[in-house]
Structure 1
Amino acid sequence: MAVLECKELTKRYGGVSALNHVNLQVEPGRIVGLLGPNGSGKTTLIKLANGLLTPSEGEILVCGSVPGRESHTSVSYLPERTAIPTWMSAAQLMDFYGDFYRDFRRDAAEEMLQRLGIFPRQRIKQMSKGTREKVQLIMVMSRAAKLYLLDEPIGGVDPATRDYILSTIITNYNPEASVIISTHLISDVEKVLDDVIFINQGQVVLQSSVDEIREEKGMSVDALFREVFKC
């Protein structure tokens, strides 16, 4: 069964379509790049999959269910902006996640915090912006979810941290789960992707495996993206 399925999915804000009759499937065990220019509909699709928005038309299913209370147990979501309580320490945040999510793996979170030199007793508000982003990603990736939705997980961090974040994503997700990474930093994420979905003006313009792009087009995902979306 597909982890994520969209059938003629449409979302309008007033008279403007953010998504327009989108059809796609994401199978288990794949790391998928959701790629497109700013304003193409990437965040809208992720919010629909997380149940934060409802479709105007069509259907979206997560593990066979309409997004809602039931699907929240299957989905681990990293929003575009840091959204963790800053008055908490990292240890309190782990307690909070442990209480809230039955699938939270505290041992995995503690190991990642230690590897990054983040002290569990340090309060979030005392951390730099980049460290806060790392802590939030650690919490998200420490769940044994079926679908990880990561909205711009590497947007605001330095290149060395990007590499760490990508290796964290690869090594900490359940192999039967899928990861969807929304980003415009394609050359950075390309090495970890199995599949890509190109989206523009609310429509899917390409869905392909990375291997097919390299074999059939003879170019990298980044080069193809630049060709498809050149101004």
Structure 2
Amino acid sequence: MTAKPPSNAPRASSPQAGPSPASTVGAQAAIAGAAPASSSTAAASPGHTPANALVHVENLTKRYRTTTALRDFSLDLAAGHIVGLMGPNGCGKTTLLKILAGVLADYSGVVAIDGHAPGVATKKIVSYLPDADFLNPAWDAKQAISVYSRFFADFDAKKAASMVDFFELPTNRPLSEMSKGMGEKLQISLVMSRRARVFLLDEPISGVDPATRDVILEGILREFDPQSLLIVSTHLISDIEHFVDYALFVKEGRILLQGDADDLRAAHADSLDAIFRKEYR
């Protein structure tokens, strides 16, 4: 994996590692949208957004050539919630998060983050964990924290160091010598240490063992600001059920079910995991 700092950066500077610092930061900025989104050819302006909606999506459709990833997708999410974006692989979860993060701009419909269409303004308040590794494998935790400190004006290096300590990560070992779980913990430590209003985590517990999943979720919850909104995508419903207070089930690019997690459990007289298994058979 090429050295890449994260998405959503409002400004850029860079560290010593891998290719030249400028190219390292620039590559990720171009891929993940640090610069203003280019040619949002089909996106509509935000228009009216419900007063309490931090994230507003209305009639969102996204197509990839012959495939429609999202179909007439609409939702409103307020601050103070941990939202489980649930569904099997390929159902549109990653596409939705990329649009909210400002990584994908070619869509139809309305998308607003705190009243603004995804772009420069929203990247300053959205912290995004993509579904792929984005750190230079030559970096250790200290170097990664240094990168984020220079790349994001709202980054809290002390919080990141605290999370690294909570996760019991080595601070001087390069990422290439860390396990998959350690690497995921480091990336989460960085993403959760921004003073953002919206946090988008794409499959943060995928590919790690159950014990590591529990520790990762505990670390995320430990740093969650109730004034912000956290959206976590996953297909591992049983692992995340206790963690979310709002559930959004997605199937073939459409919302299948959504609502308060307790209300859904009561209405179906079953767990979210059991609901998932029934609906996606």
Do both share a fold (TM > 0.5)? yes
Q: CA RMSD in A?
A: 1.1
Correspondent of 1:88 among 99, 118, 139 = 139
Pairwise mapping of residues 136-151 of structure 1 onto structure 2 (< 5 A)? 136-151=187-202
3-state SS, counterpart of residue 119 of structure 1: coil
Whether 1:170 and 2:221 are equivalent positions in the alignment is yes
Whether 1:106 and 2:157 are equivalent positions in the alignment is yes
Deviation at 1:46, TM superposition (A): 0.5
1:32 is matched with which residue? 83
**Unmatched runs of 5 consecutive residues or more in structure 1:** none
Whether 1:188 and 2:239 are equivalent positions in the alignment is yes
Report the TM-score, using the length of structure 1 for normalisation: 0.96
2:124 is matched with which residue? 73
* Letter aligned with residue 75 of structure 1: V
Write out per-residue CA displacement over residues 143-179 of structure 1, whole angstroms, 9 at most, x where no aligned residue. Answer: 1211111110001111111111111111102111111
Contact 1:10–1:55 (8 Å) recurs in 2: no
Contact 1:144–1:174 (8 Å) recurs in 2: no
3-state SS, counterpart of residue 192 of structure 1: coil
The structure showing larger relative contact order (alpha-carbon pairs under 8 Å, at least 6 residues apart) is 1
- Structure 1 stretch displaced more, 188-197 or 117-126: 117-126
Write out per-residue CA displacement over residues 12-56 of structure 1, whole angstroms, 9 at most, x where no aligned residue. Answer: 111321101101011101000111111110000000001111242
Deviation at 1:70, TM superposition (A): 1.1
3-state SS, counterpart of residue 72 of structure 2: strand
* Letter aligned with residue 7 of structure 1: E
Q: How many residues align structurally? A: 230
3-state SS, counterpart of residue 191 of structure 1: coil
Write out per-residue CA displacement over residues 93-141 of structure 1, whole angstroms, 9 at most, x where no aligned residue. Answer: 1111111112211111112212332222222222122211110011111
Write out per-residue CA displacement over residues 69-89 of structure 1, whole angstroms, 9 at most, x where no aligned residue. Answer: 111111111111111111222
Contact 2:167–2:219 (8 Å) recurs in 1: no
Deviation at 1:190, TM superposition (A): 0.4
Contact 2:167–2:215 (8 Å) recurs in 1: no
Correspondent of 1:4 among 33, 44, 55 = 55
Correspondent of 2:108 among 47, 57, 79 = 57
Q: Percent identity?
A: 41
Mapped partners of 2:225, 2:166: distance in 1: 20
Report the TM-score, using the length of structure 2 for normalisation: 0.79
The ranges of structure 1 where at least 4 consecutive aligned residues each deviate by more than 4 angstroms after the TM superposition are none
Correspondent of 1:127 among 165, 168, 178 = 178
Mapped partners of 2:221, 2:130: distance in 1: 19
Contact 2:84–2:232 (8 Å) recurs in 1: yes
